[in-house]
A and B are shown apart, each in its own frame.
Chain A
Amino acid sequence: MKKVIKLFVNGTEYETAVYPGTTLVDLLREDLRLTGTKKGCGLGDCGACTVLMNGKTVNSCLILALEADGKTIETIENLATGEELHPVQRAYVEKGAIQCGFCTPGMIMRTKSLLDGNIDCSGSEIKEALSGNLCRCTGYTKIIEAVETAREYLKGIEPEPLEFQPQKSAIDLSVVGRRLPKKDAPDKAAGRAMYTDDIKLPGMIYGRLLLSPVPHAKIRSISTDKAESLPGVKAVLTGKDVSDIRWGTSPARYDETVLAKDKVRFIGDVVAAVAAVDEKICNKALELIEVDYDELPSVFDPEEAIKEGAPRLFDEKYENNINTVVDHHFGDIDSGFAEADHIREERFTGNRTYQNPLEPHVAIAEWDRNGKVTVYTSTQVVHYVHHQLSRILDIPLGRIRVVMTNCGGGFGSKAATNYLEILSILLSRKTGFPVKMRYTREEMYLYGRGRHKQFIDLKIGVKNDGTITAVKQKAVLEGGAYSSFGIVSTYYAGSMVPTLYKFDNYKYDGIRVNTNLPPCGAFRGHGCPHPRFAFESLLSMIADDIGIDHIDIRLKNAMEPEYRTCNDLDIHSCEFTACLEKVKDISGWKDKKGKMPQGKGIGIGCGGFVSGAGYPIYRSKFPHSNAMIKIEEDGSKAVLFTGEADIGQGSDTVLAMAAAEAMGITLDRIDVVSADSDITPLGFGAYSSRVTLMGGNACKMAGDEIRRQVIETASGILNADPANLAAKNNRIYVKNEPDRSIPWEEAASAFFSFKGPLVGRGHYSPPEGLGGTYKGAAVGTSPAYSFSAAVCEVEVDTGTGKIKVLNFWDAHDCGTAINPMTVEGQAEGAVVMGMSETLFEDEVFDENGRMINADLHNYIIATSADIPDISSNIVDSYEPEGPYGAKEVGEGATLPILGAIANAIEDAVGVRIQELPITAEKVLNALKKKG
């Protein structure tokens, strides 16, 4: 029974009737439609739903609406006055503290209450105060800077502008290379940015999935009668109602069905789908579906799974549950080791980690009466969703529209089609209503696609001077029940190893093994972080063995420009050595390494990544990135249309900057429309760190075309040779005679008057023929590679084993940083996410394969109170294949972190942990063993 309550929200009195079980967050979001307040976990762990109740910060997901009766509530929507942002919001925007924006409203509300109470709070007080608001993108560093800046604004002080020296490659540029706030940041700060779950369509109903409660079973029968007769239920779908088509991520391993056909393979496998007028009824209906399972033996350990006689997940394929085999040999491994003066082999074990974007997956599907479906989704890859839906539904792309809304973080978890997208469409088709489906936090973990846990045997041979002569790596990837990206992950685990250091002899044996656990996929650094952890650890161990400094052994072998690796990958720009020198210098390495007091230590780790995969996920000849630009008839604004996905990393802004630079206009004169398959041209989306280089090239090309056309028009007005004209900062001028100029918009408007629409088009495909000819040679190819080095300083409590990461100094060769502020944001986020994975994170399953920490309470991620001081640096570099010389940073910056921490711990207390995560308990055990 509903009860009437009266509450004061943002100064307005509301009288409304609520069910006893309605929480405050649902009242705000669903009833009052104040969707600025976000829902990230529903269990009080993430803080995304933070609002002020009677002036105090609370998690609105753990407050009954009834308990808010008579209270005053303030939400993010109340902060800005008209168009003017609140000083806290302004500071968040200006300081680059907003990436995906999903934690932002809660974080800003917490900041406001903190500063309302204590305007003089210290840095450590800020870190402690924000620790109830989780952020997965920023590494909290820029958020803390924003709080400090807001503190000044509130005191009426305008802080000194940052001194900023552009990179050499950006000195002559006017937009690219500048630290500019993201275009989406103000709306995100104001709580106005629209995420999929914020959309409520007229007549919309809800869908939910029935997940398998058993790890491995044949389905004898399913009875849906009771569920279907429950009032409010509109449709129930089971395996027999859906197509037999197999789908997945890599075409060579399409092995998922829309709903379980005859078998379930893990706890969380999708068995049935229900649509009803609300989620409560959906949940009741799910309980009424009767599934008769014939349970089969299951297997969770890859070493067990490959044994003869182990339970098989697929009867018809993947013999011994081996899903993928890679057998690569380059150069001559035997002679390579024969040349070595010192050889060492060690085993390293990774951890099963999950991306945990703050925003849960959501999809809404709506069929129109002409047989076309529109799906709104929180995805990284509009095109691949579009393509896969077309396959599954067996209708052409033109009858499907995929619209990406704002996306509250991905990191690979949203880099493929998911069950919500498919089943919301099928339920919508069956019922005739728009259908919204959303995962709970627990369901996110069960849908999975996180990092494969790798078991790595690594052997490196070196000469006495540290020169690497041979590398042999064996990796076993625990893959879970389905393939997802796994085939590529298995290749990546090996193929990226030779890109950082030069060596000629390399053998890689990789297998991916299916188990009755949630499927693993692509997580930031795809396949590479565990092998890189192994390599960076072992290289430092070897350096100690032969008495060489850890940075010196890296300098000795460091990759150089214009180098073809032993596995046929072409490195072009490479400033890895500069990265190493930079971190050596700024960390005070020489005075610290091996010289710090017991319990404190310093360590180095390195990494790098592709700037976009050289080949698409499925075979296609389409350009990988495409762009269109349309200029307003009065020339006052450009609209950039791109299929690439801004998942918080800032690609809308970065692509707009590349296009604006090309056109000769300022960033405020360009708007971006992105990731809508009906409106924007194809872009493969945000995966493999491809958007800056590939999308940037396409957008620059479109901008160049616009510039040529306006200059052509301007040449008539200025009576000058077009070859002598340039466009910059919204003016077109005669080179060497800058006073002879006209406003950019005048030329653009004149063009429209003479010739009609002023448009530009651009596209980008990687160079043809990248990579070698051996099987799997495509994986690891890229137009360009990034390089990073990071030095870490830790303090270890020798009584408890607890590790405190004090400092990170990192340097990145990302070519020209199109927007240095967003590059820093990526790097800082990578440090903290990498640290969190290294120290805290691990999915844990019970003996039945049930994940026992599928929440943010027991699967812990770093809070603001855990972060080190981070000094992120960009070295001078120019990549000829990239737009204005740019390449990637987002994933490459993650890779150095794991090994750097392990090496620093070893330096601090003399113990080497080779199994992730590096918990306090493991450190203490190792200390005891060492005696």
Chain B
Amino acid sequence: MYKSSKELTRRNLLKNAAVVGATVTLGTTLKPVLRAFARTGRADYEVQGEWRPTTCQGCTSWCSKQVYVVDGRAIKVRGNPNSKVNGAASCPRAHMSLQQVYDPDRVKSPMRRTNPKKGRNEDPKFVPITWDEALNTIADKIMELRKNNETHKYLLLRGRYSYMRDIIYSRMTKIIGSPNNISHSAICAEAEKFGPYYTEGEWTYRQYDILNTRYIILWGADPLAANRQVSYYMSRWGDALDRAQVAVVDPRLSATAAKASEWLPVKPGEDGALACAMAHEILVQGLWNRDFVGDFIDGTNRFAAGKTISESDFEEKYTYGLVKWWNIELKDKTPEWAAAKTGLPAEQIRRVAIGYGKAGPHAISWVARGPVMQVRGAYASLACHALNGLIGSVDNVGGTLKANKEYTQSFPSEKKFLDEIAQAGIKHKKIDHRGRLEFPALNAGKSGGGVVTNNAADGILNEDPNEIRVAIGYMNNFAFSCTQSERWFKALSKIPFSVHITTNASETTWFADIVLPSNHHMFEKWGYVKSFANGYRHVTMNQPVIKPLWDVRTDETEIPWLIAEKLAERGFDNLLRHYREYKDPETGKIPTNEKEFALYALKHATHKLWDPAEYQGGDKFNGWEDFRKTGVWNSDPYPFRKRWGSMKTKTKQFEFYSETLKEALAKHAEKHAKSIDDVLAACNYEARGEKAFVPHYEEPYMYGNKDGLVFVDYKSRLNREGRSANCLWYQELKDHDPGDEAWDDVAKINPVDAARLGVKTGDRIRLLSPTGELECTAKLWEGTRPGTIAKCYGQGHWAYGEIAASEFGKVPRGGNNNDIIPADYERLSGSSAFFGVVRVKIVKV
């Protein structure tokens, strides 16, 4: 347990007298260390360091970075000025990476569990072992599956990744012979991609041309704090504010809302109503973009509340189905109708819609997780994104853009290395139930094309479709990051043999049999990621800029290679033979060890970026070393309006009536010999018939008693994806999330509700939901919408480290939001529902 002096003086002075005493003793025994000279013989402060390029994956902005290294030590971080995406800007979380790489609580050697019992309250009693022992044990377990023709009982769980991921995630899993590579994607933001895909055919996140825009509506997006391209957007937000109006739709006053001109504190789950009313108003006011959408043939605006329109009266240009959308959904969705649903004044809805419409096409409707990672969020994703179609900002200057083209290449095919056992194994159904009637997971139009991450826990628990006997997880912490996390406690406990590749002993590690210490992605690893903003895409590399202090290996490359070697020793060499195909493109050399393999694989993947002979576009380099030293490749600038009329939808147009979605739903229904209406019912949607193919309003689906407060979960500007709570700077600066307090985890309640509940600031409270409970501190705050309770995700670790947990392995610091959020889904995308999904009861502790 680590208590800061702030905590000690603030409220625990007497209680912790013993701790203080110990600390003082410890403090006084410290001799000031004032060495004047480094090992070099020169004064330390005269030693010149070097800025070395790498990549920060603290969030999914994936900024290119430089680390200042002095005498082998990393001491500072800044943005890599060579990146056209993020430039020199660095958000606060980037600096915190220093406290991650030098975190004393990093696992420094492989460990083995000695307590055979597994559970939340079972100390695993880890003991250190050698890499050889760890790898031998893992290889034996995999060989046992192969011997018994049970390779489908192998499971790979992936959390955050670099694009080296396929080596361990896809290739290794398939060659062993399992269908079960389960990624984290559906707890990330898959529902956010749903809207853009079924309107414009792009299953992807977007970039926003904020320097040329005149109006920005943010739907639960908080780009000054969290996802995506935080460093870039914060670096230019002041310039954007000089030109643009910003309206933030969010039930809590976010970091971006604090600087906006309009805050629309919508009732959770009612975003779809708001978006539909805005669309209605834009049409009634005649503010749609004629160049993109087209016009009435006679030029007379016939959009009037309650009136059906003839499709033949309107001629569309680059869109499809506007009048259908109006007739099916929009005609009655007035601002007054939405005011009753959303709890927002009709005049504000009208004002924002008109402001946005008038600013078009240089206006942005910016959709993030909040409105869409909900049980019925898919249609809010469509509705919010369709506003871009109405005003013609799609692919336009000052609007919403997709990613630029890049030229990395995939790893060699694994096909010829799949033996009979593997080929039989991969034919089994996946453990997450994707593609079943109730889990369409329509990634890019394909039934079961996406993952249902969080449902894998139920698959494991129910042995449905089969039991899992061997599991490996890396850079994931599903026991913390998935909703209704206790299901993962049970599921992970049930797996007879599991391995966790991790930097810290996290909640997920707690249930592992073998722990493999991973190096830190930003300082100690070869890899690369792709990211886009500012009209560019960059490919930036993770590089080993310092020598690790401990006996750690790279999760995605070195460890699978080492496992492959051990499997080969046991007579199964297919994986190793496959990996030996990753030759160095410069020399043609075959990798002979894990280090060479990691490097050659990266050189192969990025070959076309750095080899002048293979040049395709964007930045040009003289060769590998030139690229490595620069650290990042930038694409060509964005080609505006190139996709108008050639979108990847069924009609090639921007679809307000989605023929693309209609086809996807029909195929899924057909697969199960059911109707589309049956699919919608199974997925807990209200829509039937034609409504299923247009953006429309759905009543939010929530758990918990009606008299509870709706729980509002959100991200911290200091979160390094739930991995930074063990950093001192995280706790010290926690109040930089508006409303939060340093060294604490507060649930923010509007004073109106607090008075009713008899709660005051500083009270210890318990939040109870139908599926769990947590304890934290109450904070009265006017930035919370009455009827809701807002609490930041990130605290509540009961493992991970001495700072993150109040008592390691036992007592959390604050509470984990996922303990009280029920596991339910936006099923059309497979996403976990995090928002507008539960009402909680508050009791004083």
Task: Say whether A and B bind each other.
Answer: no
